[in-house]
Amino acid sequence: MQMSHVAEAHDLKSAGVHTSTCPHDAGAGIFCSASIMTVVMSSYQKTNYCWTENYDNCPMFLAKILRGRS
């Protein structure tokens, strides 16, 4: 995915248009709410996982899903 497409997707999210982004994205915050610890997300993580449809490959998201399974 090109960076311009990622930026456009994030702008659409801000404008209230539905895009497929991580449900645990903290929005303007820097912390990942999928983590059980206070984990600061890097700009790489936000751009490649939180603001795109690729969030299901994010290690924090996968860990949260696996913790929910018993």
- pLDDT at position 70 is 53
Q: Is the pLDDT of residue 8 over 70?
A: no
Residue 67 reports pLDDT greater than 60 = yes
- This prediction has a pTM of 0.58
Number of domains in the chain: 1
Average pLDDT of the segment spanning 4-14: 47
What is the SS3 assignment for 40? Answer: strand
Q: How far apart are CA 32 and CA 29, in angstroms?
A: 8
| Those residues with Cβ within 8 angstroms of residue 4's Cβ, 6 or more apart along the chain or in another chain | none
Rg of the chain in Å (alpha carbons): 12
Cβ contacts of residue 25 below 8 Å, gap of 6+?
A: 33, 46, 50, 51, 55
pLDDT digits (tens, 9 = 90+) for 20-62: 888 888 666 788 888 888 888 888 888 888 888 888 899 989 9
* Residue range of the domain that includes 36: 3-68
